[in-house]
Amino acid sequence: MNATEQYIHDRDEQVRKNMAEINEPKWGYDDMQTNSDRIADFTSYLLETKYAKNFTWMGRPILQFPNDLMVMQELIWQIKPDYIIETGVAFGGMTVFYASILEAIGHGMVFGIDNEIREHNGKEINRHRLGMRIQLVEKDSVAPDLLTMIKRYIGNRTVTVLVSLDSNHTHDHVLHELRLYAPLVSVGSYIVVFDTIIEFFPELTSKDRPWGKGNNPWMAVQEFMKGNDEFVVDKEIETRAILTCAPGGWLKRVKEAECRQ
């Protein structure tokens, strides 16, 4: 084991220790808070202050917690996907973020799917220096012909696919996305379902929105995972992030799909 491998091994051991202790009361904090309580309090503060809007990535607003970006770049570097399918483009910050990691790897393409890509955002993304690694698709992410179009683009090659879901956050829409895109995801790769956090902080995430407590990505994941032995929820990644918009949403494929679409 070289020095880098030892560092990562020790880090992962600490993460597992943190996982085991997350609900244990800690001396020295008000009201004997657990680490889980402290994380919830700080997450609430970040949501109240709209912290996720504080950053850009290579010129584009990114609308994510930095912790989630660090975890995502680790996953992409390890998995080295040929394709990243992203639903929900907005300003294109995450689209460019994914493209930048793929560019560093030296291969790969991002499908950025949104039912409405505003003209200004589309132009800025397409003319970005990483635009050659991005294919924007202006369609509903569950449109009946979308999967056929993506598969036609990919062709018959065996490829590695990672999926990021961050569009319409209602239960039914996210569940439809999960069932639609799951068969494309490679063993060892992930579907990352963002904004499962809505279930736990609905008053801070759902004002004037059709989603809210009981109707959100978290609930969709719970239904998707019932009896599902092809994916597992990667809690270790979540614990490493500590603060995440996707609690319970890091879904790793561990078994081949019984029926690939």
Terminal alpha carbon distance of the chain: 40
Residue 223 falls within a domain, yes or no? yes
Residue of higher predicted confidence among 15 and 67: 67
CATH number at residue 153: 3.40.50.150
Residue that the structure tokens 């032995």 belong to: 229
Instruction: Give 75-120 pLDDT, tens digit per residue.
Output: 999 999 999 999 999 999 999 999 999 999 999 999 999 999 999 9
Phi, psi of 187 (to 5 degrees): -60, 130
Per-residue pLDDT, 249 = 97
Per-residue pLDDT, 54 = 92
Instruction: Give 24-57 pLDDT, tens digit per residue.
Output: 655 455 555 667 787 888 888 888 888 899 999 9
Does the pLDDT of residue 205 top 70, yes or no? yes
Residue 17 falls within a domain, yes or no? no
Structure tokens at 164: 């990021």
Residue 167: domain span: 52-253
Does the pLDDT of residue 223 top 90, yes or no? yes
Please, are residues 99 and 60 in contact by the beta-carbon 8 Å criterion?
no
Helical packing angle, 146-154 and 171-181, nearest 10°: 30
Residue of higher predicted confidence among 153 and 136: 136
Report percent pLDDT > 90 for the chain.
67
- Of 161, 164, 148, give the one whose Cα is nearest residue 95: 164
Confidence of residue 209 (pLDDT cuts 50, 70, 90): confident
Residue 18 falls within a domain, yes or no? no
Q: Which are the contacts of 8, defined by CB distance < 8 A and separation ≥ 6?
A: none
Does the pLDDT of residue 204 top 90, yes or no? no
Per-residue pLDDT, 30 = 55
Instruction: Give 231-261 pLDDT, tens digit per residue.
Output: 999 999 888 888 899 999 999 999 998 765 5
Q: Which are the contacts of 234, defined by CB distance < 8 A and separation ≥ 6?
A: 190, 250, 251, 252
Confidence of residue 216 (pLDDT cuts 50, 70, 90): very high
- What is the rounded CA–CA span in Å between residue 94 and residue 76? 13
Residue 95 falls within a domain, yes or no? yes
Residue 204 falls within a domain, yes or no? yes
What is the number of structural domains in the chain?
Answer: 1
Query: Is 24 exposed, middle or buried (CB count within 10 Å of its CB: 0-12, 13-18, 19+)?
Result: exposed
Does the pLDDT of residue 222 top 80, yes or no? yes
Residue 131 falls within a domain, yes or no? yes
What is the mean pLDDT of the segment spanning 62-67?
93
Residue 5 falls within a domain, yes or no? no
Residue 94 falls within a domain, yes or no? yes
Per-residue pLDDT, 157 = 79
Order of strands, sheet of 231-233, starting from the edge strand that comes earlier in the sequence: 134-138, 109-114, 83-87, 161-165, 190-193, 250-253, 231-233
